[in-house]
Structure 1
Amino acid sequence: MSKKTKSAASFDFARWQQDARAQFSGLDPNDPSRWPALPRQLLLLVVALAVLVGLWYAVLSGMRTQLETERQRESQLRTEFTSKVAQAVNLDALRAQLEQVRQYVTQLERQLPSRAEMDALLSDINQAGIGRGLQFELFRPGQVELRDHYAELPIAVRVSGSYHDIGMFVSDVAHLSRIVTLNNLSLAPAANRPDMLTLDTTAKTFRYLDPEEVLQRQREQQQQQQAARGQR
């Protein structure tokens, strides 16, 4: 019985592969409206994913860059503020500017969860896929990487579903209240399911460091500085 099932599945796949090749042969690149259904749907999917990836990269990468830039700007302004206080020059204006920067940095930090809130964020990502009817084949958090002012958690994700549901899932993740980026996107037909697609990606979430991690990061930086001095 199992041999018959395997041979039938192999025959169905070969026939689907033949049909797919037939639909892709003789396509007129100047008139996609006359293409068969499969090439036309794949073209729409590629265009939609390209637009979504471009938007996520521009918006989310920009926010992360802004956060780092504003932190550096805050440190620079504090140094300038101390110097100006001693001279009592433009003190009120500097205070107002410093307060604006602090408020902006605080606003960006609110989009970063704490360590205790990470489980809820992971659940939100999972629920975003389930809510779109996707099947999770892989959801594996990786090793936390500590940066200067935040921690980064990569998550290996593999989901299967229709191209429309996958697109909506990606959109839902981009609209989460916390910052989540999808990297290394790979889309392919699902195994033994020609009507479904499989998305492989690495989701990256970010959170701010707790006091213990800040001290750990400072100690690591001090050790690196001491090691660099010892090599001179």
Structure 2
Amino acid sequence: MNLSEINWDINAAGTWPLPAKVLVISLVCLVIAGGCVYLDTLPQLDELEATEKKEPELKLLFETKQKKAVNLQDYKEQLALIEASLDEMIRQMPTEEEVASLLVDISQTGLASGLEFKLFKPAAPIVKDFYSELPINIQVRGKYEELGLFVSGLASLPRIVTVHDVNIVPQNKDKSGVMLMTAMVKTYNEGSKTDAAGSGAKKKRSRK
């Protein structure tokens, strides 16, 4: 077959010899296949390579979430215990109406322990996230055992009362054993009604 004798005009393709037709069709198929590889397959290969690079990160993320899922029930049980403990503590906080009587209870506990109050001064409330601290500056006079009875008595009150910044010094230089204790006593409540109205987030809880 002499290629120079063939009329390569596309309109005369019907007159081409069979080998020429096969050759042209093969070339066209190769061009189409190459275009498909370039336009479709190569981008997919790039995407596959990018996904493979992310595989370690995705695997680590999966393992982390799997561990959380396995421990989910334990987390729920721990959360329930924390909420129950918090509810119990809040029930032990005095309401605003109970604060005045609690101050009397604190004073009576000191007197019943044999102490003499030199100072009993409630300070301004300190507002926290969902509760308020109610500090009371006190100064009492008595013997060591009486001071111990007083602190023990505060811990036995039905509402939460804590003792902070304790300082104990001898009252006199003699051997009478009389001491002077300065401290800050704190009790707590859920915050004032003004705070509750302002935030709209205070949750009323039933009390024993």
Q: What's the TM-score once normalised by structure 1's chain length?
A: 0.48
Task: Give the AA of the match of 2:107.
Answer: N
Higher share in helix: 1
Q: For each residue in 1:127-149, what CA deviation from the matched residue of structure 2 results, as whole angstroms up to 9, or x when unmatched? A: 11010111000000001111110
**Which residue matches 1:160?**
141
Instruction: Give the Cα–Cα distance (whole angstroms) in 2 for the partners of residues 94 and 163 of structure 1.
Output: 46
Q: Which of 196, 205, 208 is the matching residue for 2:190? A: 208
**1:97 and 1:158, CA in 2 relative to 1: closer, same or farther beyond 3 A?**
closer
Q: Percent identity?
A: 31
CA distance in 2, matches of 1:192, 1:172: 28
Equivalent residues in 2 for 1:56-75, closer than 5 Å? none
Residue 131 of structure 1 pairs with residue 112 of structure 2? yes
1:178 aligns with 2:159: yes
Report deviation, 1:176.
1.5
Structure 1 unaligned regions, length at least 5: 1-92, 220-232
- Identify which of 102, 108, 122 aligns with 2:89: 108
Structure 2 unaligned segments of length 5 or more: list them.
1-73, 202-208
Aligned mate of 2:170, from 189, 193, 201: 189
Q: Distance in 1 between matches of 2:75 and 2:109?
A: 44
Aligned equivalents of 1:199 and 1:96: distance in 2? Answer: 43
Residue type at the aligned position of 1:167: G
Flag the 1:122–1:96 CA change in 2: closer, same or farther, 3 A. same
Paired residue for 1:140? 121
1:207 Cα shift?
0.7
Note the alpha carbon deviations across 1:113-160, whole angstroms, 9 max, x for none.
111110111111101101011100000000111111001111110000
| Distance verdict in 2 for CA 1:149–1:185, change over 3 Å | same
Assess if the C-alpha contact under 8 Å between 1:148 and 1:217 holds in 2: no
* Letter paired with 1:144: P
Deviation at 1:210, TM superposition (A): 4.2
Q: Which residue of 2 aligns with 1:169?
A: 150
The CA RMSD over aligned residues, in Å, is 2.9
Amino acid at match of 1:212: T
